[in-house]
Every structure is written in C-alpha cells, then in structure tokens.
C-alpha cells in the first residue's frame, strides 16, 4: 500500500531558511510558492474538511492573496479557519496581525479590520498565530539604497554570516542574502554575498548614511563603492554593501606580489590610480554646487578590490564613515574650522596636527592619495616587503608602537618625511624609471604636486585626474 502524501505541515518543516542574525527560521518566498503550487491548498482543505465545501473557489482566493495567512494557519493545524479571514476581508497585506485582546486580532494597516477568533481557538493558538506569522514575512531587499526599519520580530534573510573585521565603531560580516529575498541585484549565484556592516554607535551610522545618500547620485562612477541600503532593528543598525571578493588594496599587493610586473600590469595599475582620482573629483565637485565633501580617511584598507570576469578587476573607494559634507558657506567661516580626526594617522595630511585655525580642505584627500600612489609605485618597482620596510623606516626610533607618517616634525617645522624623499629618489634610479617613462612621471607627480606640506601647493582632484590621464596615455601601447 502506497504511503500517503506528506502533509503541508511536514512540507513546511523541510522548507525553512535560517535568519543567522537573530537565529530563527522563516519561509522564503520561493519556498512558499512551491508549498502552495496548484492543488496543494485544495488538497489541504479537503483533508481537513468533513462536510461539503466549495474548495476550488476558496483555494483560488488563498493562492492569490492569502498564502502567508494560510501557511500560518497550517502551522497551527487550523487551515480551515482561512474561511473566517476571507470573510473578514483579510489578505497578506494586513500582516503582521496585531493582538487586540484574547479574542481579537486586527490588521496592522487597517485598524478597523478585525478578526474574531473561532470558538475552538484558545489563548495559546492566538499567541501561536502572533508568533508564527513572522516566519512568513521576511523582507525582500533591493539595491535602491533605501533605509528600512524592522520590527524586532522580523526574520532577516541573511545566512552564512562570517565576521571579517571590527573596529571601535563597527563590525563587518560577509553574509549571503537568500536568492528569493532580493530584487534588482543581477546576481546569477544561488545567493548574493554582501558586506554587512553593523554599527556599535548610532551617530556613526547616521553620519555614514547621510554621506552615502549624497554620493548615491554618482551612479556613473565605477570607482566609488555605493551602499545597497541600510536597516535598523531595535537598537541594531546595519548597512549593506557589495562584497569585495578581492579584498582591499593591501590584500591585492600581497596576493599578487609574485606576479610579473608586465606592461599590462603597469597600465592596469595606472588606470586604477586614474579611476581613483576621477572618483575623488566626483566626490569633491559633482555632488552639488554648494556642497563640499572630502573623504578624510583614504588608505589602502579603504580601497576595495572587486574582481570582474577574467581581468584584474577594479579598485573602488569605500568607507565614508568620517567623510564630511557641509555647505560651502559653513566651510568658508574660518572662525568655525572643520576638524575631523582621521582614523588612519599614517595616511593623514600634515594639517591634521596643525594648531592653526584653518578649515580642512578637500586637498587633505590629495595628500592621502599621494601616500597610496607612492606605495603603489614601490610595489610595482619592488614588492610588498619593500612597502613594509618603508613603513618601518618612517617610524620614530624612540617608539615602536606608533604611526609611520609621511611627514615629519623638525623642531616645530612640519616637512615631508626625509625617508619619503629618500625613497622617491631611490625609485627614480631604478631601471623601470628612466627619463620620460610613465613610472618616472608618476613619481614626479607625487613629489611635486601631491606630497606637499603647503595645502595650496597640492593639485586639486581635477588637476590630478588630468595629469594621470596623460601618464596612462603614455603607458598604453600605440
């Protein structure tokens, strides 16, 4: 004798996904579709019904608009009571239902829409419905950058949660968004891997969210990392970013350290430097006529490497947590200078420690980019170890636990660190840096126009972009 087909309840038990943020189960959208495929609702109602019922009409209505309500009732062994919800005009849009008292539930969207419990419903069933309904309404995420606020009972469709790093202000996880709970990501993989950033302090979250909302309009710049969106749940606050499968720029230097320094690698590297300069130009000048933005924390760890196809991928500026955006009028009030201590002192500009009452300009970022470009040049000419050695050479001899600045305080006078000057001259003497070579031009650019203590002596982002474009053109084969 053939075994009876599995009940809808047992099929539900094998269809759950896990919200790894909150450690609870939910039914994804695709699982619900499979569970309620044609005939399943009618079969469940016929199985439960002992008196004649217009099953086909009821089943059709359930499949169309009450699937989540119906599955919630299935978990409580109360599938037939879908008739009462139908009669009261309820649909899935009314979820989550709210408990009015021990006998009544109401719609969360229409307060006057009430459902009186059937006679055989106990208080436990009412409470069970309130609990189980959350398994049916996990959110679907889009990449439109919106902020959403979720009830603490909402199941979040993130799994494979893996902490990748943390700081005093945030924790970063690699996570997957369930394939059925995402729209618009153009992702062919079973699940979408993202960087999920949880903030420890609310003010840091609000600052970064404001910054990212401003730069989202720069959609045509491929060298800026943009947020997919953000959400809060209770006191917890998160942002969702694309996952950089190549890590950051330091990871790239380490992992590709043994690669042959071919002309193609040189061209790609210079093109990425140009792209970063174009991104900075967009951030500095393209957000709004009366808006001034600086990143404020440019460093290799905030330049992410996204792999693409068979190529070397693309580098993108990330982490706008301490970026400052303000009106030009505010910026120009010198009696209220803007001071934002960068979180990465090795790459900070000399004005970060200046006692002068001067507003910090966008050219702060130009110094930081000059530091990064110099390290990139060291890697192209030598290797990762030479970058590390250069870092140690710049540290004050009297201290071991300190930062390796690119500037130096000499008897109260700030100047470019002597080791920086020595390194640039040493690099210029290498075989790859002959007169009129692209690498020689890059080093001259860094030396004469980027790593300048006087802010006014530095190029702005547009000028940097133009100089790099000429170097890239020279590096490309005819």
Q: Is 56 exposed, middle or buried (0-12, 13-18, 19+ CB in 10 A)?
A: exposed
Q: Are residues 418 and 270 in the same domain?
A: yes
Q: Are 200 and 162 in contact (CB under 8 A)?
A: no
| Predicted local distance difference test score (pLDDT) of residue 56 | 60
- Of 116, 123, 40, which is closest to residue 84 (Cα–Cα)? 116
Q: Are residues 174 and 190 in the same domain?
A: yes
The enclosing domain of 204 has a CATH number of 3.30.200.20
**Position 24 in a domain:** no
What are the CA-CA distances from residue 217 to residues 145, 147, 211 (Å)? 11, 16, 11
User: Last residue of some domain: 204, 226, 242?
Assistant: 242
Neighbours of 246 (CB within 10 A): 19
| Predicted local distance difference test score (pLDDT) of residue 343 | 40
In the chain, the number of structural domains is 3
DSSP state, residue 117: P
Mean pLDDT by 10 residues, the chain (478 residues): 77 95 97 85 72 61 86 94 91 95 93 92 95 97 92 97 88 94 72 88 83 75 89 95 92 96 96 96 72 80 85 88 43 36 71 67 92 98 96 78 81 90 96 94 98 94 96 90
Q: Are residues 116 and 203 in the same domain?
A: no
Q: Are residues 203 and 312 in the same domain?
A: no
User: Last residue of some domain: 82, 110, 136?
Assistant: 136
Q: Are residues 155 and 40 in the same domain?
A: no
Q: Read off the tokens for 259.
A: 């690669």
**Position 2 in a domain:** no
**Cis check: omega of the bond before 253, within 30 degrees of 0:** no
Q: Are residues 225 and 347 in the same domain?
A: no
- Of 226, 246, 158, which is closest to residue 196 (Cα–Cα)? 158
**Position 280 in a domain:** yes
Q: How many residues does the chain have?
A: 478
**Position 4 in a domain:** no
Return left, alpha or beta for 377; rule: phi > 0 is left, psi -120 to 50 is alpha, else beta.
alpha
Distance of CA 221 to the CA centre of its chain: 16
Can you point out the beta strands (E) in 268-411?
Answer: 291-294, 303-306, 314-317, 324-327, 407-410
- Of 346, 402, 336, 341, which is closest to residue 374 (Cα–Cα)? 346
Q: Are residues 112 and 183 in the same domain?
A: no
| Predicted local distance difference test score (pLDDT) of residue 293 | 72
Question: CA 301 to CA 347: how far, in whole Å?
Answer: 11
Q: Are residues 287 and 410 in the same domain?
A: yes
Can you point out the beta strands (E) in 22-113?
Answer: 24-26, 98-101, 104-106
Owner of token pair 């020279």: 474
Question: CA 345 to CA 421: how far, in whole Å?
Answer: 19
Q: Are residues 112 and 187 in the same domain?
A: no
Q: Is 80 exposed, middle or buried (0-12, 13-18, 19+ CB in 10 A)?
A: middle
Return left, alpha or beta for 7; rule: phi > 0 is left, psi -120 to 50 is alpha, else beta.
beta
The enclosing domain of 352 has a CATH number of 1.10.510.10
Owner of token pair 């474009």: 469
**Position 103 in a domain:** yes
Owner of token pair 């729209």: 183
| Predicted local distance difference test score (pLDDT) of residue 196 | 94
Where in the sequence is the domain holding 55, given as residue range(s)?
Answer: 36-136
**Residue 263 belongs to what H/E stretch?**
helix 263-285
- Of 67, 64, 69, which is closest to residue 132 (Cα–Cα)? 69
Q: Are residues 266 and 123 in the same domain?
A: no
User: Last residue of some domain: 100, 116, 136?
Assistant: 136
Q: Are strands 147-150 and 229-233 parallel, antiparallel or unpaired?
A: parallel
Owner of token pair 């199941």: 155
φ, ψ for residue 291 (rounded to 5)? -115, 135
Q: Are 303 and 249 in contact (CB under 8 A)?
A: yes
| Predicted local distance difference test score (pLDDT) of residue 179 | 92
**Position 15 in a domain:** no
**Position 19 in a domain:** no
**Position 11 in a domain:** no
| Predicted local distance difference test score (pLDDT) of residue 17 | 97
Q: Read off the tokens for 62.
A: 């359930």
Q: Are residues 50 and 189 in the same domain?
A: no
Q: Are residues 274 and 205 in the same domain?
A: no
């Amino acid at each position: 004798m053939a075994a009876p087909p599995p009940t809808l309840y047992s099929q539900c038990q094998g269809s759950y996904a896990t919200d790894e943020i909150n450690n609870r189960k939910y039914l994804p959208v695709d699982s619900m579709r499979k569970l309620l495929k044609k005939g399943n609702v009618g079969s469940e109602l016929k199985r439960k019904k002992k008196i004649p019922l217009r099953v086909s009409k009821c089943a059709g209505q359930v499949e169309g608009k009450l699937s989540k309500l119906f599955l919630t009732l299935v978990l409580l062994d109360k599938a037939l009571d879908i008739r009462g919800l139908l009669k009261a005009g309820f649909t899935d849009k009314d979820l989550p239902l709210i408990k009015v008292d021990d006998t009544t539930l109401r719609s969360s969207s229409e307060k006057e829409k009430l459902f009186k419990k059937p006679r055989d419903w106990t208080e436990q069933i009412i409470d069970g419905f309130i609990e189980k309904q959350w398994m049916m309404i996990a959110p679907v995420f889009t990449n439109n950058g919106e902020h959403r606020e979720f009830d603490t009972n909402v199941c979040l469709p993130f799994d494979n949660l893996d902490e990748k790093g943390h700081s005093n202000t945030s924790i970063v996880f690699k996570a997957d968004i369930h394939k059925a709970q995402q729209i618009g990501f153009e992702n062919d993989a079973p699940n979408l891997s993202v960087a999920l950033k949880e903030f420890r302090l609310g003010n840091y979250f609000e600052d970064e969210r404001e910054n990212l909302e401003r730069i989202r309009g720069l959609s045509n710049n491929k060298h800026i990392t943009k947020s997919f969106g953000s959400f809060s749940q209770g006191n917890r606050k998160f942002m969702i970013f694309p996952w950089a499968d190549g890590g950051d720029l330091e990871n790239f230097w380490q992992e590709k350290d043994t690669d042959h320094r071919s002309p193609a690698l040189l061209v790609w590297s210079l093109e990425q430097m140009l792209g970063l300069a174009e991104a900075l130009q967009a951030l500095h000048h393209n957000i709004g006529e009366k808006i001034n933005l600086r990143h404020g924390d440019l460093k290799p760890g905030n330049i992410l490497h996204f792999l693409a196809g068979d190529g070397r991928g693309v580098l993108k500026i990330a982490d706008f947590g301490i970026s400052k955006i303000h009106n030009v009028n505010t910026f120009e009030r010198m009696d209220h200078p803007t001071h934002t201590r960068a979180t990465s002192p090795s790459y900070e500009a000399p004005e970060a420690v200046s006692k002068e009452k001067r507003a910090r300009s966008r050219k702060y970022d130009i110094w930081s980019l000059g530091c990064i470009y110099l390290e990139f040049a060291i890697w192209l000419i030598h290797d990762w170890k030479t970058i590390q050695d250069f870092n140690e050479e710049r540290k004050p001899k009297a201290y071991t636990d300190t930062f390796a600045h690119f500037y130096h305080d000499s008897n109260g006078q700030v100047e470019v660190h002597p080791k920086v000057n020595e390194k640039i001259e040493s690099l210029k003497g290498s075989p790859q840096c002959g007169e009129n070579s692209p690498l020689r031009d890059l080093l001259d650019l860094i030396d004469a126009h980027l790593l300048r203590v006087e802010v006014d002596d530095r190029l702005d982002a547009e000028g940097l972009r133009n100089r790099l474009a000429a170097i890239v053109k020279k590096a490309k084969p005819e």
